[in-house]
Each structure stands twice: as C-alpha cells, then as structure tokens.
C-alpha cells in the first residue's frame, strides 16, 4: 500500500481556487511541484503510488499524485525538497482535518476515497453545501 502526504493549502478557498493557483505556478515555473523544507524519509513508500492530499479550509478536498522528489539548495546553502506532482487534481470525499505546519504522512487506510464522477459534475448548490459540511 502506498503512503501519502498531507499538506495545507494556505489561503485557498476552494478546489477551483487551488486549481488556478497550481496552474499559475506551473506556468511560472515550467513544472508542477510543491516546495517544502523537510525531505520525506519514506520516499520509496510514497513513490509506490502515493498522492499529496490538500487540506482546504479544514477539510481534505483534493489530491495530486506524487511523481518524484528532488533535493535542492538555496543560495544561502539551506536545503529544501521539491515534491514533484502530477498536474491533475482529483477531488476526494471531504474529510475534516485539524491544521498543522509543514506536511504529514497519511497512511493509505486513512486517506479519503476519490469523489464519484457524478458528484463532481453536480457539485453546485445544495449538494456542494452538504459536501462542504461533510454530510455526504
């Protein structure tokens, strides 16, 4: 079973907002990655099919498949990690999660399932509100 990562989408209000932010960063950088100071030690488990699950306004809402890790150094010599991710955002069933700093490991058994395509198409109005509240 793959191991996943959790990360807060700070300042992001919705999946669409995250999509726009990620698209802008991708066009600016020429690639799709997430910057973090600490390099995960369990990279082999994460690369075995893991994703980064984004927490938006207190709920896990979407994921991106992780495709690689790169260790880099800033001009001041401090190391950091680039988590390479697939461009595609996959909506998940909403799950409440408490805030934290940085990233956390998420075992496969604790990861929320992907949201069915029917709900993704009808995610407006009352259905979206019920999902936001975690009732469906």
User: How far is residue 75 from each of residues 79, 80, 84, measured CA to CA in Å?
Assistant: 9, 11, 21
Q: Place 121 in a pLDDT band, splitting at 50, 70 and 90.
A: very low
Taking residues 13-33, report their average pLDDT.
Answer: 89
pTM above 0.85, yes or no: no
Strand partners, 96: 59
Taking residues 19-40, report their average pLDDT.
Answer: 89
pLDDT above 90 coverage of the chain, percent: 64
Taking residues 43-60, report their average pLDDT.
Answer: 96
Q: Place 31 in a pLDDT band, splitting at 50, 70 and 90.
A: confident
Domain assignments of the chain as residue spans, ordered by start = 3-132
């Amino acid at each position: 079973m793959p191991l996943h990562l959790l990360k807060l989408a700070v300042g992001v209000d919705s999946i669409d907002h995250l999509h726009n932010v990620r698209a802008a960063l991708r066009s600016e950088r020429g690639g799709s990655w997430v910057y973090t100071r600490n390099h995960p030690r369990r990279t082999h488990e994460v690369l075995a099919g893991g994703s980064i699950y984004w927490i938006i306004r207190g709920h896990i809402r979407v994921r991106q498949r992780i495709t690689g890790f790169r260790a880099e150094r800033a001009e001041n010599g401090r190391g950091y990690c680039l988590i390479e991710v697939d461009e595609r955002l996959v909506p998940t069933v909403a799950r409440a999660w408490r805030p934290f700093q940085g990233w956390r490991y998420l075992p496969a058994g604790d990861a929320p399932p992907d949201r069915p395509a029917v709900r993704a198409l009808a995610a407006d109005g009352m259905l979206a509100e019920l999902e936001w509240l975690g009732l469906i």
